[in-house]
Structure 1
Amino acid sequence: MKALRCFCVCSLLLLKVSAGFGDLRCPENVSVDSLNTRYVLRWDWPHETAANQTVTFTVQCLDEFRSRKASNEKYRTSLCVNVLEHRCDFTGAELSYDICFLLRVRANTSQQSSGWVQIRFCPDEHAALGPPSSLKLSSVKEDLEIIITDPLSSTNQSMKTLLKNKLSYLIQYWRRSEGPQKAKVLETKNNLVMLTELDRQTWYCVRVQSHDDFHNKSSVFSDTHCTRTEGQMPYWQIFLYVLISLLLCLLLVLLYFCFNKMLSLLKNTFCPAVHLPDHIQELWLSESETPQLLAPESPESVCEPLVMVSAELDAVAVDEHSNAGEQDSSTHSRHSSGDSGVYSTEEDSSHRSTTHADLQMSSRKHGVELRDGTLRELCA
């Protein structure tokens, strides 16, 4: 009888266990996202359930040291109970930073629960370290002053206190024109740092990284801050700036003259200042007639007769007339010295009229010859 009774009890227990854990699957890909003392447990649960069942999740935490005791269930702490999300933010649990914990999660429905999935989590080893909470950069004469504020916990406590003074900083600084690839590195544990031996009147950029010396883990870099050092500018730099300015001015002047020259050339080519006369433009634009120059039909339509009487010809005619008069008077005096005065007067007047008529005829003849020659030259 006792054996039969024990068999029935064991069968009932197995049925309960199979009903509780046999059908519902466990969460997958359980991990912890952490930064300083902010902790979030995440998991996946891609399995299907019955249509009328809602799946929730429960997360518990246990100190690793107490887990070695036999009666450790009473030391377990529930961080999240029956949550629908696939995450559990247990930052408010305020776990000790230098102690390891066992975290476990399971899926639940109204009728059954899955098995537990457990991971080990040590905040000081596994939690990511954040960069400095703030960084101030200022120029002090020729140096740069850097004020670093420690990364803070969820309760605004300095991480340097939690890390037991194992926190240091890695400072990178460089000229803004060069870039971070040529940065100089300075490691320090101080929150106030002076960067010396810098160039005057030069822009520098700085960024800082937190480092845990004990576990050898580093944070991401902080935001980059840039400022310019003070002090008098070096003479070579002043001379270089002046030279560059002069070259730029010269280049602008050359460009200006080249532009004006090109503009004037284009204007003279496409819009000349000299215009053709109106009658030539009319002939040029006419479609019925071919533009051509007007040719005169005869020289007389263009050239006019020009009569020229040479002064030398008049003088020669006068000399001939005077010589002829002297000869006539001498001859007349020899042959008819005894004639009367009336005859002499009539003879002289007739001789003068004859001589004047001959002079006009010779002048006209000479003028006609000159006119014919001039017309030939003008109308050739």
Structure 2
Amino acid sequence: MKSCQCYLFRPPSIMSISSWVCLLPLIFYTCLAVGAKPASPQNVNVLSLNTNYTLTWDWDYNSSDALPVSFTTEYIPRFKLSSKRVVVWNMACEESPRRSCDLTPLDLHYLSIFILRVRANVNGSHSDWVQKKFCPDTDAAVGPPSKVDLGPAGGHLDVFISDPLTSANISMREELQELYYHILYWEKSEDTQDLRSRSLNSSVNMVTLPNLKSWTWYCVSIQTRYDFYNKFSSFTNPICMQTQGTLPWWQIVLYFLASLLVFFVLMLLILCGSFWCYRIVKLTLYPPIHLPKHFQEYLQDSPSSDVPRLLTPDSESELLCEVTVCPEPLVLEVHQPPPEDLEEPHPDLEPDIRHSRQDSGGSNDSGIYSTGGSSGLRPCPSLSHEGGRTSCQDIYDPQQVKMKDMTPGIRSQLIIDEGVLDMSV
């Protein structure tokens, strides 16, 4: 038992004491670092223009001994702080390394009051919150007009002003109904010490500057103002324009002559272009074709002249004639057959072209044939009796009969002649 007590209370060795002495400062520094809070942000401020809001602050980086630092920003409407319910802050920027936080996307109401707070985060430790009250209606600055234009109005100048815009590209008159503009204008001059500016206020977006000189350059700069909270913006960049007036007579004459010259040149160009296009189209669609020389010699008055030859009455009678084409008349040949007692027909008569017909009496025959040329009918001039037979001694020359008008509808016609009883055509 004593041995145990001696062992428990044995004095430490020299090596163990030196180790504890070296570890004490490290342990003390670690405990101090864990228990200490980082420094809080300083100079917390809100930069605002129209409805664009940005919370900014400063922070001493030497206090963190080069450790990484981040910042957290929260906001809440002020009326909720007095509520008996649990206060819930809205997050704006969480663990951001920047020393600013954009509040524009939060769409804060322009007439409300908000409480903003920010703190630093170092190695898992948080600093104290730093709060800032912010009311856009009273704290937000108003911006200059978004656009300014000038227009001549005779001897005056018209000024066209566009309202400053919100972050949603809406006119600031939606938030500030009593917004107006302070217009500053002066005569442009190279001598800056002799500038005499004049001003006027207007709540409308179009203003006519009075009492200006003709044909003189003037410059204009405009400022936005809101008197309820004594807000005013910076002036816009100066823009300049020359006024107009009555033109002198020599300028009118000069402009008139210049316009006539321009008109004449334009018409000349148009005519030349039209003629050139006409020539190209004509040569393309209707290329030149020359007549043969013997045609040209006949049509011209003389070989070396371009005058066309004129037709005289004699030449007309030679050149012009009337041609009538008539059909060839049909010639009908009628032959008188020989008597019945003739045994042998005349050898010149062709039996294949003779046609015979026996009527109801059966005593007489007739023969008809047609030729392409002339035809005739001629009786036998003399008869000779040989052995009780009668023969035609001579060759008959048939008599020609011309038919001028023959109707296709008529199928037969009766021709009565000497030696012919009837005939069918």
- TM-score class, shorter: 0.5 to 0.7
Give the structure 2 partner of residue 170 of structure 1.
182
CA contact (8 A) 1:20 1:113 kept: no
Give the structure 1 partner of residue 113 of structure 2.
100
CA contact (8 A) 1:171 1:208 kept: yes
Greater helix proportion: 1
1:138 aligns with 2:140: no
Residue among 204, 224, 227 paired with 1:213: 227
TM-aligned CA deviation for residue 153 of structure 1: 0.8
Structure 1 length as normaliser, TM-score? 0.53
TM-aligned CA deviation for residue 50 of structure 1: 5.3
Number of aligned residue pairs:
216
CA separation of 1:175 and 1:30: change in aligned 2, threshold 3 A: same
Give the structure 2 partner of residue 71 of structure 1.
85
CA separation of 1:21 and 1:134: change in aligned 2, threshold 3 A: farther
In 1, Cα distance between equivalents of 2:35 and 2:244: 73
In 1, Cα distance between equivalents of 2:143 and 2:34: 43
Tell me, which stretches of 5 or more residues in structure 2 are unaligned?
Answer: 1-31, 250-425
TM-aligned CA deviation for residue 112 of structure 1: 1.3
Residue among 45, 62, 69 paired with 1:48: 62
Residue among 182, 194, 198 paired with 2:208: 194
In 1, Cα distance between equivalents of 2:37 and 2:84: 29
CA separation of 1:157 and 1:140: change in aligned 2, threshold 3 A: same
1:88 aligns with 2:101: yes
In 2, Cα distance between equivalents of 1:42 and 1:155: 22
In 1, Cα distance between equivalents of 2:178 and 2:34: 48
CA contact (8 A) 2:155 2:213 kept: yes
Query: CA offsets per residue over residues 270-298 of structure 1, 9 Å max, x none?
Result: xxxxxxxxxxxxxxxxxxxxxxxxxxxxx
Classify the secondary structure of the residue corresponding to 1:207.
strand
In 2, Cα distance between equivalents of 1:84 and 1:118: 19
TM-aligned CA deviation for residue 36 of structure 1: 0.8
- 1:205 partner amino acid: C
CA contact (8 A) 1:139 1:230 kept: yes
Higher relative contact order (CA 8 A, sep 6+): 1
Query: CA offsets per residue over residues 119-164 of structure 1, 9 Å max, x none?
Result: 111111111111000000111111100100000011101111111x
Query: CA offsets per residue over residues 285-323 of structure 1, 9 Å max, x none?
Result: xxxxxxxxxxxxxxxxxxxxxxxxxxxxxxxxxxxxxxx
CA separation of 1:104 and 1:19: change in aligned 2, threshold 3 A: farther
CA separation of 1:29 and 1:92: change in aligned 2, threshold 3 A: same
TM-aligned CA deviation for residue 72 of structure 1: 5.1
CA contact (8 A) 1:66 1:72 kept: no
CA contact (8 A) 2:39 2:63 kept: no
1:124 aligns with 2:145: no
CA contact (8 A) 1:21 1:115 kept: no
Query: CA offsets per residue over residues 217-272 of structure 1, 9 Å max, x none?
Result: 1000011110010003799xxxxxxxxxxxxxxxxxxxxxxxxxxxxxxxxxxxxx
Percent identity between matched residues is 38
TM-aligned CA deviation for residue 175 of structure 1: 0.4
Task: Report the aligned-residue RMSD.
Answer: 2.3
In 2, Cα distance between equivalents of 1:50 and 1:216: 42
Tell me, which stretches of 5 or more residues in structure 1 are unaligned?
Answer: 1-17, 236-380
TM-aligned CA deviation for residue 23 of structure 1: 2.2
Give the structure 1 partner of residue 49 of structure 2.
35
Structure 2 length as normaliser, TM-score? 0.48
Look at both structures and tell me which one has the larger radius of gyration over its CA atoms: 2
In 1, Cα distance between equivalents of 2:133 and 2:165: 24
